[in-house]
Amino acid sequence: MTLLSTLREDLRNARLHDPAARGDVENALVYSGLHAVWSYRLAHRMWAVPALRGAARILSQLTRLLTGIEIHPGATIGRRFFIDHGMGVVIGETTEIGDDVMLYHGVTLGGRSLEHGKRHPTIGDRVTVGAGAKVLGPVRIGDDSAVGANSVVTHDVPAESIATGIPAVIRPRSEKQREPLVDPTCYIDPAMYI
């Protein structure tokens, strides 16, 4: 994808995920989640060049200072990723995020150990993670799943499931919860408010 088509896709995605979104120009200027994702994309490209890794970390920390969202440039993030409100979001270095994922403010995708290697979560496609949720360690959140607000997840979550509570209890989604609310490429799950 070209840079311009990626920006357009991100702006369209913001409109689909946020009913308060009024227009592309305003969204491009004021949505800290978009700013953080756009900065991450640049930092991630820099991270791929060993000589630029220091500069990539500096860019990610400047973005954190400006947006309150910390995304390590080593993380891998798919298309149409959206962070609503954003303040306090932390995404660790070995995190992998699929397509059409939505995070709310205060989400941590973090590690549980100081060992080298894969130590952060893998988030599947079309996953929603509610405000304040913590997904810790090299766990996998399956496609079409949701993590409820303020939940703490330390074990794998199968596809089409909902994880809520501390520690998170996992249950399958009902048929009603599987129906897309807006658009099949952008799933917003009402169960995350439970």
Domain containing 113 equals: 3-193
**Structure letter (DSSP) for residue 154:** -
Residue 165 sits in a domain whose CATH number is 2.160.10.10
Note the pTM of the prediction, 2 decimals.
Answer: 0.85
C-alpha distances (whole Å) from 115 to each of 111, 112, 120, 125, 135 are 9, 9, 11, 27, 17
For 3-46, the pLDDT digits (tens) are: 888 888 988 888 888 777 788 888 788 889 999 999 999 999 99
C-alpha distances (whole Å) from 106 to each of 35, 55, 64, 140 are 17, 26, 13, 19
C-alpha distances (whole Å) from 43 to each of 55, 56, 72, 102, 134 are 8, 5, 8, 20, 24
**Structure letter (DSSP) for residue 192:** G
Query: What percentage of the chain reaches a pLDDT higher than 90?
Result: 69
Mean pLDDT of the chain: 89
CA distance 157 to 126: 13
**Closest Cα partner for 124 from 160, 148, 92?**
160
pLDDT band at residue 146, thresholds of 50, 70 and 90? very high
Q: Furthest-apart CA pair in the chain: how many Å? A: 50
Domain count, the chain: 1
**Closest Cα partner for 141 from 165, 180, 170, 118?**
170
Percentages (nearest 5) of helix, strand, coil residues in the chain: 35, 20, 45
For 154-192, the pLDDT digits (tens) are: 999 999 999 999 999 999 987 666 554 444 444 444 444
